[in-house]
Amino acid sequence: MEFGLFNQMYHPVHRRAERGEHECLMEELALIEVADRVGFKYAWASEHHFLDEYSHLSASEAFMAYALARTNNIHIGSGIINITPPVSPPSRVAEKVAMLDHLGRGRFEWGTGRGSSSTEVHGFGIETMDETRDMYDETLPEIIKMMQPGEYGPFDGKFFSMPRRNVLPKPYTNPHPPIWVAAGSPGTFEKAARLGLGVLCFTMGTPDTLAPLIEVYKKTIVNAEPIGGYVNNNIMVTTDMMVLEDGARARQVSLNNRGNYHTALLFRYLDSFPIGQGQPKWPNVPPPAEASALDYAIRKGIVAVGTPDEAIATIQRYEDIGADQLAFGTFSTDVSLADATEAYETFGKHVLPVFDKDPVHSTTRQREAQLGALAVGVAV
């Protein structure tokens, strides 16, 4: 099991008097530096547009380039780059991915997707959410071809056309950085596995609800026909983390962080997500979590909140169902940078070494093993 954090530049109105947009951005970057220092292997940066309060992280390629320059070992990943042509012309995606790959000397992870909010999609002139699925399917294989040596094209598709051109630079990583896709439904897990893509699982599900999705993925990826140059057999799952030596204080910090407001914004904007029975609709906000509900989530291994031992029990649940990586959306609540830093340092000291004993990132290890085997003609 490996570990990461998820950045989205959550900027709720109720914190703006104390913490402006700039401070919000700088704290996100500061926590990546902390995570790098204590042994986390991945930091994921979202890409969202027009989603006031929920996410102000739009030009994420600039954010990721800065993060790569400020860190040493952690891999910086796009969670996601929207590859639909009206949002990002395919040649521009290929250029950005290759440039980030060079700046990180191979520490960039390429997470892909098509957007999950009609507010964003319609803002770029795309008429329906359904149309983005076909856009994704057309553009991803073409972007991968653009990264290959020599010229690309010409190409005349349904959603974009391009004359013969040499898309530059080419990636630093041979043949390209690891490819991931955002997924939440059973069909997307199965599709990702068939294509040999890692999964970025942005879900509110529990380990029990995720288990059958992961099982489908792991069974299918054995027979993958990779769309890229190698298979990235990885599932990243997001959850909450607040681990402190004092378990009671960790609980109190978690209860005070107004995660219910972030949940309300999620359902306000990300309208491709299913809304549960009785879920309040914006501007109504779900009630704040009660201590009993948090204790239940800790006992059931849903969130990594409490003491290091309690976090270890939670993470074991995710490892048991086959998850490969847990990423923590720490700043998706009102947590302070001081509390977040203490939690990451505590986690890095007591929890992370129990599960992550390999200094090499899983994506690097898999790529090198597969390309090495192919070089000598061994089946993988």
Q: How confident is the model at residue 377 (pLDDT cuts 50, 70, 90)?
A: low
Residue 169 lies in a domain: yes
Closest CA to 122 of 136, 113, 107, 132: 132
CATH number at residue 33: 3.20.20.30
* Residue-wise pLDDT tens digits, 199-231: 999 877 789 999 999 999 999 999 999 999 999
Number of domains in the chain: 1
Taking each continuous run of H as one helix and of E as one strand, the counts in the chain are: 14, 13
* Residue-wise pLDDT tens digits, 187-203: 899 999 999 999 999 87
Residue 231 lies in a domain: yes
Q: Which residue segment(s) compose the domain that 27 sits in?
A: 2-375
The pTM of this model reads 0.96
For residue 272, the model assigns a pLDDT of 76
Residue 240 lies in a domain: yes
Residue 288: both structure tokens together: 């704040």
Residue 108 lies in a domain: yes
Residue 380 lies in a domain: no
For residue 23, give the H/E element and its range. helix 21-38
Give residue 4's Cα distance to chain centre.
Answer: 9
Residue 210: both structure tokens together: 């995720």
Residue 8 lies in a domain: yes
Count Cα neighbours of 377 within 13 Å in the Cβ-side half-sphere. Answer: 0
257's CB contacts (< 8 A; 6+ apart) are 242, 333, 334, 335
* Residue-wise pLDDT tens digits, 32-44: 999 999 999 999 9
For range 114-128, the mean pLDDT: 95
Given the structure tokens 């639909």, which residue do they identify? 84
